[in-house]
Amino acid sequence: MDKKKMRYTVEGGGEVSPAVIKRLPRYFRYLRELIRNGKLRISSGELSEMMHVTASQIRQDLNCFGGFGQQGYGYNVNYLYAKICEILGVGEGFRAVMIGAGNLGRALVRSPMFEKRGVDIVAMFDVAPELVGSSVAGVNVLHVDGLERFCEENVVDIAVLTLPKEYATEVAERLVKIGVAGIWNFTSKELVCPEPVVVENVHIGDSLMTLCYELRCRSLQEEEQ
């Protein structure tokens, strides 16, 4: 086993599976809602009903990180939320730049998504003369030529790519060279970067296609009946 990847280990020594990690943000969302609703504690049964997964799945997932529950009491919502936040790096104060100040980039910067997850957007970059020099939700739009210099002078952990896909590979190479640790890629170009750079590709359109596939299957079934 690669010791470098062993930060979180299941009791007994195994690595926490990617499937469990993928589920953690869902706990984050549900716990936020519970807190908003003033709920102080919750049993795995209640959480299970709310999240449409089995109580045993929940216990198993959380046991990977040490449990956090108490027999007969359930989970302390605030404590569990704090723990999930810690595991997910919400309190790390990650700083991000957004490359591409077009429609999607501007919509993302204006959404509360980053703030909720403790990520600070420190600058946007673009090439369009009508955008460079402007600001969106208080974030300045700079020319992408100044990317290297900005990243030398400021701590930047993450780059969010919302630029046209033709430029994705070139910009990603520049980001890797500068030493940006994480790339959140919204272009339809799939990026593979050398270790230890972390890349998350988001393909919004794929989910629309899955929906269309299901709709087509349903309509074919109806025709058959």
Site residues (CB under 8 A) for a copy of itself?
Answer: 4-5, 7-8, 21-22, 24-26, 28-29, 52, 87-90, 92, 94, 103-104, 106-108, 110-111, 113-114, 116-119, 157-158, 181-182, 184, 188, 190, 192, 196, 198, 200, 202-221
Describe the crossing of helices 18-36 and 55-63 by its angle, rounded to 10 degrees: 110
Nearer to a copy of itself, 37 or 71 (CB): 37
Side chain identity at 50, as an amino acid letter? M
Separation CA 25–CA 199 (nearest Å): 17
CB of 6 to a copy of itself, least distance (A): 9
Nearer to a copy of itself, 87 or 147 (CB): 87
Nearer to a copy of itself, 154 or 210 (CB): 210
Nearer to a copy of itself, 71 or 106 (CB): 106
Separation CA 127–CA 80 (nearest Å): 44
Nearer to a copy of itself, 170 or 190 (CB): 190
Q: Which two tokens stand for residue 100?
A: 């591409």
Bridge partners, 161 (sequence order): 99, 185
3-state secondary structure of 116: helix
Nearer to a copy of itself, 112 or 129 (CB): 112
- CB distance 121 to 154 below 8 Å: no
CB of 71 to a copy of itself, least distance (A): 28
Sheet holding 74-76, edge to edge: 41-42, 74-76, 69-70
- Mention every residue, 6+ apart, whose C-beta is less than 8 A from residue 201: 185, 190, 191
CB of 205 to a copy of itself, least distance (A): 5
CB of 220 to a copy of itself, least distance (A): 5
CB of 72 to a copy of itself, least distance (A): 29
Bridge partners, 76 (sequence order): 41
CB of 182 to a copy of itself, least distance (A): 5
